[in-house]
Amino acid sequence: MQHNPDFSLDGAKDFDFLIGHWRVSHRRLKRRLVGDQEWETFGGASSTRKILGGLGNLEDNWIDLPGGAYRAVALRSFDAQNGRWAIWWLDARAPHQLDVPVIGGFKAGVGAFFAEDVLDGRAIKVRFLWTRTDRASPQWEQAFSSDSGASWETNWVMRFDRAA
């Protein structure tokens, strides 16, 4: 791969911790942004590989929801011009609809990514956090805000453990 010296590849390896095969433990709020405190837990699996010559990756997911399993894909790409990542989500239950990308990056081992979206007809902010990226079991969590980011409700947590 030829590198243009006007651009920085710092950060292009931020998601290298996720390359490989994983067992995934999910914990998800049943209802979002309504004050619900009822969580459901379920399993899953994922496999992540590099794409775009190392400037992106593709994560293939099997999510075993209590109401029925489905597949989904996380597509990530790194922009060397601004040092930021974009993450898109494609759910096989809606195969022609990519979610709004969350944009961000890593600082001190924590990845923070944000987007503006709509939930049930109202504007919300979305936040993805990647933590524990230096450990054998990294963690992802999703949170929504209906008050422009003044407060956040974490609604989904995924813990990754290497598959044998």
Chain segment 97-111, per-residue pLDDT in tens? 999 999 999 998 899
User: Per-residue pLDDT averaged across 73-92, rounded?
Assistant: 96
Closest CA to 46 of 5, 18, 11: 18
Residue 8 has what pLDDT?
62
Instruction: Kindly give, in sequence order, each residue whose CB lies less than 8 Å from that of residue 67, ignoring residues fewer than 6 positions away.
Output: none
- pLDDT for 4 beyond 90: no
Confidence of residue 132 (pLDDT cuts 50, 70, 90): very high
In this structure, what is the dihedral angle of CA atoms 16, 17, 22, 27, given to the nearest 10 degrees? -120
Say if residue 129's pLDDT is above 90: yes
Report the pLDDT averaged over residues 59-86: 96
pLDDT value of residue 131? 96
Please check whether residue 105 is in contact with residue 85, taking contact to mean a CB–CB distance below 8 angstroms: yes
Q: What is the pLDDT, as a whole number, of residue 5?
A: 47
pLDDT(74) > 50: yes
How much is the average pLDDT of 21-35?
A: 96
